[in-house]
Structure 1
Amino acid sequence: MSVGTYCYADGVLYHGGFQNRRKHGRGTSVNEEGVYEGEFCNGERHGFGTMWFDNGDKYRGNWYEGLFQGKGVYYVRSSNSYYYAHWNDGKKVHGTWVRDKNIYSGPFEDGLFNGKGIYTYPNGTAIEATFQRGRVVSGSEREVDSQLEWTVGNDFYSSRPEDKGNIVPQRFKNVAPLRPPAFPDGWELDSS
């Protein structure tokens, strides 16, 4: 494997590892979408990496053959919201969405809340409900523990009271591994 810099005919600038004339290993790629820094395999974003999109959005997490795959955090600049999610083929399948201290935890379909989930308002009131295409179809209001802790790579995100209810990325050394928000009793991920 060699390391170098190459400017492609389509304007993509790449600096990093090459194998068989393809991006491979660690590298940085700049194109019309934005800037990607992370791992490549056979020319594709593959492994762990961060993408800073030109519109101000950011994704940090796992990739598979150029798509978001596995655990990752996506920040949407236009709405100042975060998705702490498990991704499949570039789409959110299950996780937590946070915006202005509103929190949804549950499954997603086509980017919308879909399935059994919990929506928590800033005052702590929560709706445990079944969602279809982003709308509540059945559910009830109750008090829940809406604290969120999540790790992606070396970043730690928290909504604990000492963090004043805001999701704040922090660098920690020797942080014990944390689990994503657990499913309520009797719930399981419908992978169909």
Structure 2
Amino acid sequence: MAQIFNQYETNEDGILLEARASAQGQDVPCLHGFLARKYRSVAEIPYEPANAFLHEYIATQAEVYERETGIKVDGLGHIEGFWTHVDRVLPPLGSFYLIWNDDHRLVGTGAMRRVDETTGEMKHLYVRPEARGTGLGRWLVDQRIRDAQTLGLKCMIADTVRGNVEMPALYKNLGFEETAPNQISTSVNVTPEVAAGLRFFRKQI
């Protein structure tokens, strides 16, 4: 699979996506038909496609959240906060993945960050519809659990919006238990106003 792609496309919302896999970053063995990259520094991250993909993910979650709660959420602050503190999902504090398919289309992402001495938190698990059912979501969860174990962490937490059907099913299939709001969760601490519309999960690793 080629290392650099310079194709462009627009998603359904008209957002221009640069479907380019940076030559930097660490290639990680992934499922057949996908190219996985794990980023070790801010400079390695292909910002434009990653940022557009993050906007797409947040828009989908905000739509589900509003449908479930009746509350409209502005995700721009969340996105700005992620990029301001992106070092928190990079070594030695965490991990960040982008996944492309054989058509050079960005189809998946996931991040993990250390939230205390023993706990990691999974963030931004998103797989585009055309790549769902392939095991890619499970791969991204498993990979970040391995990363957390490498960091010496003993527990993983996650959250998702109420109304999201796929994520709770995936987490439960992988041994996560649903819990009360995790008080160390980024979602609870940074945007406490949305916590009531979230579901929370935990797994000993």
Q: State whether TM-score is above 0.5.
A: no
TM-score by length of 1: 0.29
Larger Rg, first or second structure (1 or 2): 1
| Higher strand residue share | 1
- Return the structure number with greater relative CO, CA threshold 8 A, min gap 6: 2
Q: Under a length normalisation based on structure 2, what TM-score does the superposition of the two structures give?
A: 0.28
Higher helix share: 2
